[in-house]
Amino acid sequence: MIIAEIEKNSLERIRIQVTEYRGHRFIDCRVHYQSANGEWLPTKKGIALSSELAEEVAQAIHAAKDQLEAGS
């Protein structure tokens, strides 16, 4: 299930989706590119996270964003 697609640049999108692998559900954040026929295909650039790990990563991203905006 696709949760969001974020345009990274004119050639790439970051797709966030819930996926299942070997009976386990993950949050998959992956860069996709547009093929010659217009289809968006996944690259190896990405990460799959359990719900517990996703919470830690989200908190770390928010902290990094705060630091970036503070200029530190």
Give pLDDT tens digits along the chain (72 positions): 999 999 999 999 999 999 999 999 999 999 999 999 999 999 999 999 999 899 999 999 999 999 999 986
Fold of the CATH domain 2-70: Transcriptional Co-activator pc4; Chain A (2.30.31)
Is this model's pTM higher than 0.85 or not? no
Distance CA 56, CA 19 (A): 19
Distance CA 45, CA 32 (A): 8
| Torsion angle (degrees, nearest 10) of CA 26, 31, 33, 38 | 40
Distance CA 33, CA 61 (A): 24
